[in-house]
Structure 1
């Protein structure tokens, strides 16, 4: 029996298994994104901008789970590389709305295809019904913890 110092059986710990699955997913995503000059944080930022154009630095940082400072550095890099654009001055308040450029959209397309291949591989051992159940259960867990 695998136990930590507190006597928790890690083989039966759902939280531990979810963390292990999350780590394996992230590693597999990093492997397919690296040849594209991308990583999970960069991909997540571009994906979020595609879904919600005009997000601010703070909104993006929250959505990608990084600090505002880290997101600002990433956005400066993405802007320098021509993947995103931000106005020189905020149209309203202090937030600079960020948008993907056509180059950013093409880059995201390649990255999304690579990430999708990882998701397909991850689910390959499950039937469609099992996949539906897994999605429903994971959504339920998230909702339970957020309420």
Structure 2
């Protein structure tokens, strides 16, 4: 039996650290978006539509790591709030786009989130932040390739 102070196997430790980082990021983001009337799921869909205008619900689901059904519900709610508009595209596929109000809200959340994260991220130099991005992308690609 392992002692409580023994390190975790490398892959498990990286996974645990990733989960902790995700938790802290999500918490800081929620502190910003909840007063604006958004859930983390809604904000994630809006963010992805900013990044990929016209994305379908299934494309948004893959990017947001949700089920297509959950994303469809989120998109409908965002549409009712005037943040997203939907239009027929390819067969049964529906394209989703941010409205002007949706763009404005996403841009506002980006500014507020950056300000909320700045104190923590200032502890990283520019080179460290770029290296973290590079290594994170490399890990994502490696995990996708090995799926």
What residue in structure 1 maps to residue 32 of structure 2?
Answer: 32
What are the equivalent positions in structure 2 for 1:10-89 lying under 5 Å apart? 10=8, 13-87=13-87
Change (3 A) 1:32 1:2: farther
Number of paired residues?
A: 141
Instruction: Measure how far apart 1:116 and its partner are.
Output: 1.8
CA deviations on 1:28-76 (whole Å, 9 max, x unpaired) are: 1111111111122211211211222111111111111111111111111
Instruction: Measure how far apart 1:102 and its partner are.
Output: 0.7
What residue in structure 1 maps to residue 130 of structure 2?
Answer: 132
Instruction: Measure how far apart 1:108 and its partner are.
Output: 0.9
Change (3 A) 1:91 1:32: closer
Runs of 5+ consecutive residues of structure 1 not aligned to the other structure: none
What residue in structure 2 maps to residue 145 of structure 1?
Answer: 143
The TM-score, its normalising length taken from structure 1, stands at 0.84
The TM-score, its normalising length taken from structure 2, stands at 0.84
- Flag the structure with higher strand content: 2
CA contact (8 A) 1:10 1:16 kept: no
Runs of 5+ consecutive residues of structure 2 not aligned to the other structure: none
Q: CA RMSD in A?
A: 2.1
Runs of 4+ in structure 1 deviating by more than 2 angstroms, as ranges, are 8-12, 117-122
